[in-house]
């Protein structure tokens, strides 16, 4: 196992947290109990942008969850990016989940796509093809292709993906962030063996989603 460490508060949240704290302090100084809703908002922002360290499995061939949340799809599907049949695994994040996204595998980024779209409830299967989304094509050292897709949700309005074509990512390495509820889809070879079921709770960079063949 290796430990993936980042600041306890994701850098994407520093501005939001700073502003909310300043406002809460100002209202406290001016109005006492009137500040309670602003402190609740600051606490919500603090928990939303938390980014705890994760212990990344180092067993060969494992695919880890790219996001915290609940499994909403374990199915055979068409990978719309690599135009192949695939095993599709989807993680739905609600507003109380950690929203840092981490690479499901070690590999080189061979492609990147961005598609504008709608903001349907990310728990719906059609969100994978109709919502705003950003996709990465990763190839593992053993030559397996993996597609990882960040999908915006009903509340989410900003997908952040920091990786580019030619980058190399470690398994569990942080590569992006989605603000305020969304999903992440992973497309694998059909011969991959899933290790999760519908409804399972998973943790990014830590929970094993599937095993790839050697």
Measured CA to CA, the distance from residue 165 to residue 168 in angstroms comes to: 9
Let me know how long the chain is. Answer: 214
For residue 100, the number of C-alpha atoms closer than 13 Å in the C-beta half-sphere is: 27
Contact between 68 and 46 (Cβ < 8 Å): no
Residues in Cβ contact with 145 at an 8 Å cutoff, skipping those fewer than 6 apart: 82, 84, 110, 137, 138, 139, 189
Give me the active site residues, please. 182
Using alpha carbons, select from 64, 67, 92, 90 the residue that is nearest to residue 77.
90
Contact between 115 and 82 (Cβ < 8 Å): no
Using alpha carbons, select from 211, 185, 214, 201 the residue that is nearest to residue 63.
211
Contact between 142 and 166 (Cβ < 8 Å): no
């Amino acid at each position: 196992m290796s430990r993936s460490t980042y600041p306890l508060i994701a850098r994407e949240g520093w501005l939001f947290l700073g502003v909310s704290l300043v406002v809460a302090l100002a209202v406290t100084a001016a109005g006492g109990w009137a500040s309670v809703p602003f402190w609740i908002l600051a606490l919500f922002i603090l928990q939303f942008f938390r980014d705890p360290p994760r212990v990344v499995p180092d067993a060969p061939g494992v695919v880890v969850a790219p996001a915290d949340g609940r499994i909403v799809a374990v199915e055979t599907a068409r990978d719309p990016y690599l135009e192949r049949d695939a095993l599709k695994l989807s993680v739905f994040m609600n507003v109380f989940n950690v929203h840092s996204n981490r690479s499901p595998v070690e590999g080189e980024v061979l492609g990147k796509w961005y598609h504008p779209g709608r903001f349907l409830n990310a728990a719906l299967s059609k969100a994978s093809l109709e919502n705003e989304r950003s996709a990465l094509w990763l190839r593992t050292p053993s030559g397996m292709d993996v597609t990882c897709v960040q999908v915006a949700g009903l509340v989410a309005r900003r997908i952040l993906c920091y990786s580019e074509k030619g980058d190399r990512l470690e398994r569990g390495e942080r590569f992006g962030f989605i603000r305020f509820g969304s999903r992440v889809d992973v497309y694998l070879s059909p011969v991959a063996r899933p290790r999760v079921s519908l409804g399972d709770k998973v943790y990014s960079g830590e929970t094993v989603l599937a095993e790839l063949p050697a």
